[in-house]
């Protein structure tokens, strides 16, 4: 068959000297040629032949032509074929509607559906199931009424699609009513109901349906695993993932993304690496979604090196992929690398998103780059990105760390959007860092008046009173918390050893190896004392004696996790700890010393960010405002007396003060 013309090679047809066709190809031959068309040029030639020979009204050839246009992505040609037909059928309309829906062109599909109705063509079950696939709840209600009127509501495909519509619209009660009254349930309808429950946070109900199924395919497993992962139950997600492997159902890309999300939430690197090895050995495609999930998992599990390796190996990177790497650098305190990567992304012509700027502003906050943070915050307007609560939170963090509490307070009150408790908590944390009790009381008073106070508000105020030695204030706040039923979240640290996660609370004695752990704690205390460690008892938030305060510090959950890591892993192995709250300054100092004494790299992920401790390779520097910043040795060219001197050594990719004074704010894409 020629690549230039379908009709240049015999024996398709023969011609006379007058170029009139002696006979046309058979309908079967034409159907074959239409179905086998590889490009739009070939299909247009066949279409032209049909028109010249009066065959364009043939319903079978017309339908095949319409489908082939759609398969080649030429939906407009497909629509033209339907509109030019003398008597379009419900099948031709249903096919073109379906092709628009699968290409996320729902509005155009709805217009075609209305045109079909105006031509008095009655929809069938497949028309309804196609229309219901992506329609919003309001349209779904109207289609439900019409399906009921025409007698299609009990059709298995239509009923399943209706269950999906109501579940996507968060009307889970209506979805379950339709599901319970189905004349016949299929694997698809069961999976649809499970997905609806899972996406709406009803994971227990989803699991009950899941456990009652005799046969499960990968889609069903994925829905349940992702449901656990997306609603804060990563451990159950990974347990179910392991059961899926034992069931011999082969995971796919969607499974991998859900499992990696669970690993990222728990910060368990070994399990994430096992999944990576599984993906390679089973030749699961590492598309941009899977690759981005690996970057996120490695970043949140403490291995930036692996995250960057995956990033560099990916050929197909979208803005979400770049965002994951930028945010990864920011949360680890590698602010300069985050900003440089942002510049590279912009030079490639990728449009930053709101997530991009969360990463960039977080990087500025971690490094204390106040003026640069303002520059990037204002740059969002150039990209038509409206600031969200997370962006405002980064700026409040920046201002608070810089000690500009009054300015931060006014900034929050002047916001265009409503503030949330996390934002006010950031400001209260700054008050605690700078010991500004008066301003903290002012903020809490405002929050109480506006009915914005939460448990975190009272806990932070109590901590500020305790840090200043005002035990009467602590007693008043704690009494108020007790009357209000407010509980302080206990600190918890976890460590993964041999693919098993071990959790510790302060003073925990429940671990099977508690005896060995506390023996190691005694050994650690001797090391610390020999290296001149002095406990920071002023941070103990209880009215205790000096000895009792030291004893309290000695059994913080981080130390228990580190002790278990030391006795459970080989010398030289990196220890990775995950803490649910912020790491206290005393534990920060202790971890740094333990890393130096043992020669171990220790990575601690707390509520806000990562802290890296590697003897002399990574220095944890106490900044002038009392917080901590971890910078790689490559960024620390010399020991500087001030943070600003340190930053200016390598920060050449953001506007300087001189450039801003000249009235020019460089966009990232124009920076050298």
pLDDT tens digits for 15-25? 333 344 445 67
CB-CB contact of 260 with 272 (8 Å): yes
State the alpha helices, DSSP H only, in 212-315: 218-230, 234-246, 253-266, 269-281, 288-300, 304-313
What percent of the chain stands above pLDDT 90? 50
Higher pLDDT, 473 or 493: 493
Q: Does pLDDT of 524 surpass 90?
A: yes
Beta bridge partners of 634: none
> What is residue 210's predicted lDDT score, i.e. its pLDDT?
96
Give the residue numbers spanning the domain of 460: 387-488
**Could you count the other beta carbons within 10 Å of the beta carbon of residue 593?**
17
Average pLDDT over residues 348-354: 95
Q: Does pLDDT of 538 surpass 80?
A: no
Is residue 602 a part of any domain in this protein?
yes
Q: Does pLDDT of 537 surpass 50?
A: yes
Q: Do 440 and 574 fall within a single domain?
A: no
> What is residue 295's predicted lDDT score, i.e. its pLDDT?
97
Q: Does pLDDT of 252 surpass 60?
A: yes
Q: What is the DSSP string of 405-428?
A: HHHHHHHHHT-SS---HHHHHHHH
pLDDT category, 449, cuts 50, 70, 90? Answer: confident
Q: Do 424 and 521 fall within a single domain?
A: no
> What is residue 63's predicted lDDT score, i.e. its pLDDT?
73
**How far from each other are the two terminal CA atoms of the chain, in whole angstroms?**
54
- Of 542, 536, 535, 537, give the one whose Cα is nearest residue 466: 542
> What is residue 375's predicted lDDT score, i.e. its pLDDT?
94
Q: Does pLDDT of 567 surpass 50?
A: yes
Look up residue 576 and give its DSSP letter.
E
Spatial neighbors of 624 by CB under 8 A, at least 6 apart, are 642, 643
- Distance separating alpha carbons of residues 496 and 578, to the nearest angstrom: 9
Average pLDDT over residues 60-70: 71
- Distance separating alpha carbons of residues 165 and 143, to the nearest angstrom: 10
Q: Helices 585-598 and 557-568, interaxial angle, to 10°?
A: 20
What percent of the chain stands above pLDDT 70? 84
Is residue 56 a part of any domain in this protein?
no
Q: What is the strand order of the sheet 500-505 is part of?
A: 500-505, 492-497, 575-579, 602-605, 610-613
CB-CB contact of 376 with 360 (8 Å): yes
Is residue 624 a part of any domain in this protein?
yes
- 171 sits in which H/E element: none
> What is residue 630's predicted lDDT score, i.e. its pLDDT?
39
Is residue 13 a part of any domain in this protein?
no
- Distance separating alpha carbons of residues 543 and 218, to the nearest angstrom: 56
What percentage of the chain's residues is helix, strand, coil (to nearest 5)? 60, 5, 35
> What is residue 48's predicted lDDT score, i.e. its pLDDT?
76
What are the distances in angstroms from CA 452 to CA 7, 388, 427?
A: 76, 18, 14
Q: What is the mean pLDDT of the chain?
A: 82
Lowest mean pLDDT among 180-194, 260-274, 427-441: 427-441
Beta bridge partners of 15: 21
Q: Do 484 and 606 fall within a single domain?
A: no
Q: Do 605 and 631 fall within a single domain?
A: yes
Spatial neighbors of 121 by CB under 8 A, at least 6 apart, are 88, 89, 90, 93
CB-CB contact of 590 with 533 (8 Å): yes
Q: Do 481 and 497 fall within a single domain?
A: no
Give me the half-sphere count of Cα atoms (radius 13 Å) on the Cβ side of residue 453.
Answer: 22
CB-CB contact of 216 with 246 (8 Å): no
pLDDT category, 543, cuts 50, 70, 90? Answer: low
Q: Does pLDDT of 130 surpass 80?
A: yes
Q: Does pLDDT of 2 surpass 60?
A: no
Q: Do 543 and 595 fall within a single domain?
A: yes
Higher pLDDT, 552 or 37: 552
- Distance separating alpha carbons of residues 368 and 298, to the nearest angstrom: 25
Spatial neighbors of 667 by CB under 8 A, at least 6 apart, are 346, 379, 382
- 158 sits in which H/E element: helix 156-168
Q: Do 506 and 602 fall within a single domain?
A: yes
Higher pLDDT, 119 or 85: 119
> What is residue 494's predicted lDDT score, i.e. its pLDDT?
93
> What is residue 625's predicted lDDT score, i.e. its pLDDT?
30
Higher pLDDT, 47 or 535: 535
> What is residue 35's predicted lDDT score, i.e. its pLDDT?
67
Q: Does pLDDT of 468 surpass 90?
A: no
Q: Does pLDDT of 13 surpass 50?
A: no
Q: Are strands 575-579 and 500-505 parallel, antiparallel or unpaired?
A: unpaired
- Distance separating alpha carbons of residues 477 and 475, to the nearest angstrom: 6
Q: Do 438 and 520 fall within a single domain?
A: no
Spatial neighbors of 243 by CB under 8 A, at least 6 apart, are none
**Token pair for 317:** 């990177």
> What is residue 448's predicted lDDT score, i.e. its pLDDT?
76
pLDDT category, 129, cuts 50, 70, 90? Answer: very high
> What is residue 23's predicted lDDT score, i.e. its pLDDT?
58
Summarised one tens digit per residue, pLDDT across range 165-221 is 999 999 999 999 999 999 888 999 999 999 999 999 999 999 999 999 988 999 999
Q: Do 459 and 516 fall within a single domain?
A: no
Spatial neighbors of 47 by CB under 8 A, at least 6 apart, are 56, 65, 81
Is residue 112 a part of any domain in this protein?
no
Summarised one tens digit per residue, pLDDT across range 574-608 is 999 999 888 888 899 999 999 999 999 999 998 87
> What is residue 644's predicted lDDT score, i.e. its pLDDT?
39
- Distance separating alpha carbons of residues 329 and 630, to the nearest angstrom: 11
Is residue 379 a part of any domain in this protein?
no
> What is residue 504's predicted lDDT score, i.e. its pLDDT?
94
- Distance separating alpha carbons of residues 88 and 84, to the nearest angstrom: 8
> What is residue 607's predicted lDDT score, i.e. its pLDDT?
83
Q: What is the DSSP string of 430-469?
A: HHHHHT-HHHHHHHHHHHHHTT---HHHHHHHHHHHHHTT
> What is residue 638's predicted lDDT score, i.e. its pLDDT?
29
Question: 442: domain CATH number?
Answer: 1.25.40
Give me the half-sphere count of Cα atoms (radius 13 Å) on the Cβ side of residue 644.
Answer: 7
Higher pLDDT, 303 or 33: 303
Number of independent structural domains in the chain: 2
Q: How far does CA 520 lie from the centroid of its chain?
A: 38
- Distance separating alpha carbons of residues 27 and 64, to the nearest angstrom: 11
Specify the residue for token string 């379950």.
176
Higher pLDDT, 450 or 629: 450
Q: How far does CA 658 lie from the centroid of its chain?
A: 38
Look up residue 216 and give its DSSP letter.
-
> What is residue 241's predicted lDDT score, i.e. its pLDDT?
96
- Distance separating alpha carbons of residues 183 and 484, to the nearest angstrom: 50
Beta bridge partners of 21: 15
Summarised one tens digit per residue, pLDDT across range 402-421 is 889 989 988 988 888 888 87
Q: Do 500 and 554 fall within a single domain?
A: yes
Lowest mean pLDDT among 2-11, 327-336, 636-645: 636-645
Is residue 441 a part of any domain in this protein?
yes
> What is residue 142's predicted lDDT score, i.e. its pLDDT?
93
Summarised one tens digit per residue, pLDDT across range 356-376 is 999 999 999 988 899 999 999
- Radius of gyration over alpha carbons of the chain, in Å? 32
**Could you count the other beta carbons within 10 Å of the beta carbon of residue 182?**
17
Beta bridge partners of 253: none
> What is residue 649's predicted lDDT score, i.e. its pLDDT?
35
Average pLDDT over residues 11-34: 54
Q: Do 458 and 401 fall within a single domain?
A: yes
Last residue of a domain, one of 471, 488, 505: 488
- In the three-class reduction of DSSP (H, G, I as helix; E, B as strand; rest coil), residue 393 is classed as helix
Summarised one tens digit per residue, pLDDT across range 636-665 is 332 333 333 333 333 333 333 333 333 332
Task: Of 3-7, 8-12, 505-509, give the range with the top mean pLDDT.
Answer: 505-509
Is residue 540 a part of any domain in this protein?
yes
Last residue of a domain, one of 488, 522, 555: 488
> What is residue 17's predicted lDDT score, i.e. its pLDDT?
36
> What is residue 601's predicted lDDT score, i.e. its pLDDT?
92
Q: How far does CA 574 lie from the centroid of its chain?
A: 26
Look up residue 629 and give its DSSP letter.
E
- In the three-class reduction of DSSP (H, G, I as helix; E, B as strand; rest coil), residue 275 is classed as helix
CB-CB contact of 412 with 423 (8 Å): yes
Specify the residue for token string 């109901």.
193
Spatial neighbors of 272 by CB under 8 A, at least 6 apart, are 260, 263, 264, 294, 297, 298, 301
Q: What is the DSSP string of 40-52?
A: HHHHHHHHHHHHH
Q: What is the DSSP string of 552-597?
A: HHHT-HHHHHHHHHHHHS-TT--EEEEESSPPPHHHHHHHHHHHHH
Last residue of a domain, one of 445, 469, 488: 488
Backbone angles phi, psi at 576, to 5 degrees: -120, 125
Average pLDDT over residues 50-55: 71
**Could you count the other beta carbons within 10 Å of the beta carbon of residue 115?**
16
CB-CB contact of 269 with 496 (8 Å): yes
What does pTM read for this prediction?
A: 0.76
Q: Do 476 and 586 fall within a single domain?
A: no
What are the distances in angstroms from CA 127 to CA 131, 166, 483?
A: 6, 18, 59
Look up residue 8 and give its DSSP letter.
S
Q: How far does CA 27 lie from the centroid of its chain?
A: 52
Q: Does pLDDT of 44 surpass 70?
A: yes
CB-CB contact of 457 with 447 (8 Å): yes
């Amino acid at each position: 068959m020629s690549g230039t013309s379908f009709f240049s090679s015999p024996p398709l047809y023969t011609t006379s000297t007058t170029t009139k066709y002696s006979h046309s190809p058979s309908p079967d031959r034409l159907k074959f040629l239409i179905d086998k068309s590889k490009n739009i040029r070939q299909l247009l030639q066949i279409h032209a032949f049909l028109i010249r020979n009066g065959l364009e009204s043939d319903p079978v050839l017309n339908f095949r032509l319409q489908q082939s246009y759609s398969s080649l992505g030429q939906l407009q040609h497909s629509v033209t074929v339907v509109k030019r037909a003398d008597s379009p059928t419900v099948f031709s309309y249903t096919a073109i509607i379906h092709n628009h829906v699968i290409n996320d062109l729902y509005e155009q599909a709805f217009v075609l559906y209305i045109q079909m109705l105006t031509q008095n063509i009655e929809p069938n079950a497949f028309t309804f199931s196609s229309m219901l696939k992506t329609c919003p709840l309001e349209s779904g209600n109207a289609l439900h009424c019409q399906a009921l009127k025409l007698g299609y509501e009990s059709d298995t495909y239509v009923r399943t699609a209706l269950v999906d519509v109501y579940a996507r619209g968060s009307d889970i009660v209506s979805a379950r009513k339709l599901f319970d009254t189905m004349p016949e349930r299929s694997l698809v309808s069961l999976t649809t109901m499970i997905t609806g429950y899972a996406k709406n946070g009803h994971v227990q109900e989803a699991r009950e349906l899941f456990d009652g199924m005799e046969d499960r395919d990968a889609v069903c497993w994925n829905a349940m695993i992702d449901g656990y992962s997306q609603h804060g139950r990563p451990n159950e997600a990974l347990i179910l993932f392991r059961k899926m492997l034992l069931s011999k159902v082969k995971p796919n890309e969607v499974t991998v993304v859900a499992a990696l999300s669970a690993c990222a939430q728990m910060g368990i690197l070994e399990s994430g690496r096992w999944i990576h090895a599984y993906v390679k050995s089973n030749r699961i495609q590492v598309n941009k979604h899977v690759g981005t999930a690996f970057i996120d998992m490695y970043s949140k599990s403490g291995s930036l090196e692996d995250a960057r390796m995956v990033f560099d190996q990916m050929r197909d990177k979208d803005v979400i992929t770049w965002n994951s790497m930028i945010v990864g650098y920011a949360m680890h305190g590698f602010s300069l690398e985050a900003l440089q990567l942002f510049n590279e992304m912009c030079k490639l012509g990728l449009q930053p998103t709101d997530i991009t700027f969360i990463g960039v502003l977080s990087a500025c906050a971690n490094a204390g780059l106040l003026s640069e943070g303002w520059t990037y915050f204002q740059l969002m307007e150039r990209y038509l990105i409206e600031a969200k609560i997370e962006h405002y939170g980064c700026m409040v963090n920046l201002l608070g760390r810089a000690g500009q509490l009054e300015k931060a307070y006014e900034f929050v009150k002047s916001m265009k959007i409503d503030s949330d408790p996390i934002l006010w908590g950031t400001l209260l944390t700054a008050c605690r860092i700078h010991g500004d009790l008066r301003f903290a009381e002012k903020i809490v008073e405002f929050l109480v008046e506006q009915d914005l106070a939460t448990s975190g508000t009272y806990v932070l105020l109590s901590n500020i009173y305790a840090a200043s030695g005002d035990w009467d204030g602590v007693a008043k706040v704690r009494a108020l918390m007790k009357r209000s039923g407010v509980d302080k979240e206990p600190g918890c640290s976890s460590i993964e050893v041999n693919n098993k996660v071990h959790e510790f609370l302060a003073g925990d004695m429940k671990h099977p190896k508690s005896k060995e752990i506390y023996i190691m704690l005694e050994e650690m205390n001797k090391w610390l004392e020999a290296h001149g460690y002095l406990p920071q008892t002023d941070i103990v938030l209880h009215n205790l004696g000096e000895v009792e305060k030291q004893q309290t510090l000695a059994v913080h959950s981080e130390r228990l996790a580190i002790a278990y890591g030391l006795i459970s892993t080989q010398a030289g192995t990196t220890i990775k700890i995950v803490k649910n709250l912020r790491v206290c300054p005393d534990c920060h100092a202790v971890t740094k010393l333990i890393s130096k004494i043992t020669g171990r790299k220790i990575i601690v992920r707390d509520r806000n960010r990562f802290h890296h401790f590697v003897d002399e390779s990574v220095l944890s520097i106490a900044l002038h405002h009392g917080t901590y910043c971890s910078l790689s040795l490559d960024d620390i060219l010399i020991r500087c007396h001030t943070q600003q001197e340190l930053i200016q050594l390598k920060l050449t990719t953001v506007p300087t003060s001189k450039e801003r004074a000249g009235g020019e704010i460089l966009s990232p894409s124009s920076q050298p």
